[in-house]
Amino acid sequence: NYYCDSWRGTLYIPKGHQKNEREVLQPADIAKLFLPANLWYLPAFQVMLLCGLRPSECLGLQTSDVGKGVLYIRRGVTDDGHISEDLKTKNARRVVPLPILAQEIIESTISRNVNANFGTDWIFCGYSGEMGNQNTMRKHWNRLKKERGIPGTPYSLRHTFISIVSSQTHLAEGTIRELVGHGDFDTFGTYKHTINGELESAAEVINLTFERLRDAK
């Protein structure tokens, strides 16, 4: 946006610099992620993996975003604690299939919030029902990493979803791009006509794939 217009042309990538590879969880790591733990944001990590969500998108989920077999991605919670409906890319505002595993986790989390009398619309809220916090989420992830030897960051769960769904399902590459908000099209307009067919099928395929990985020995 030319905020540093006077410095244009002076920044460069050093010769020989290599971009870090994106870390993904292996099947054994995925199985560990579904083991019980006394971590407030563990359900959020599981849903991020099952639905390919960014951390900000997961924290931005409200009860009204849960449809019949789908999630509506409408907003995000930024790293500095703001609610943003201007998501990372123009395709990030989308509808994603909701595998049965993810639906059960979300319903359980909503019940937890109701039983605690939070009166909150946020699904993955803070300890008192307030909007969730990325910094706290990262602290919980680091604790999980230390205890269970799981690699990566919370964002690695999204990379893992893409890797698993790309390599272990028969979903088309274009469909996967759409599910994670990378496709160049009007997602809501497209899915309005396919939600009862293609999304349900995708949810079933994704659910069966992650059930197998979760139960791997």
Q: What is the pLDDT of residues 79-113, one digit of tens each?
A: 999 998 866 556 678 888 899 999 999 999 999 99
- Are 23 and 152 a contacting pair, CB within 8 Å? yes
What is the C-alpha to C-alpha distance for residues 131 and 81, in angstroms, rounded to an integer? 8
User: Residue 170: its pLDDT value, please?
Assistant: 73
Percent of the chain topping pLDDT 90: 55
Computed over every residue of the chain, the mean pLDDT equals 83
User: Residue 167: its pLDDT value, please?
Assistant: 79
User: Residue 101: its pLDDT value, please?
Assistant: 96
User: Residue 203: its pLDDT value, please?
Assistant: 84
User: Residue 13: its pLDDT value, please?
Assistant: 58
- Are 50 and 101 a contacting pair, CB within 8 Å? yes
Q: What is the pLDDT of residues 169-213, one digit of tens each?
A: 777 666 677 777 765 544 344 433 343 456 777 888 889 998 998
Both tokens of 178, joined, read: 């759409």
User: Residue 63: its pLDDT value, please?
Assistant: 97
Q: What is the pLDDT of residues 33-44, one digit of tens each?
A: 999 999 999 999
Q: How many Å from the N-terminal Cα to the C-terminal Cα in the chain? A: 50
User: Residue 91: its pLDDT value, please?
Assistant: 62
Quickly count: other Cβ atoms within 10 Å of residue 143's Cβ: 14
User: Residue 49: its pLDDT value, please?
Assistant: 95
Q: What is the pLDDT of residues 125-145, one digit of tens each?
A: 999 999 999 999 999 999 999
What is the C-alpha to C-alpha distance for residues 137 and 211, in angstroms, rounded to an integer? 24
pTM of the model: 0.80
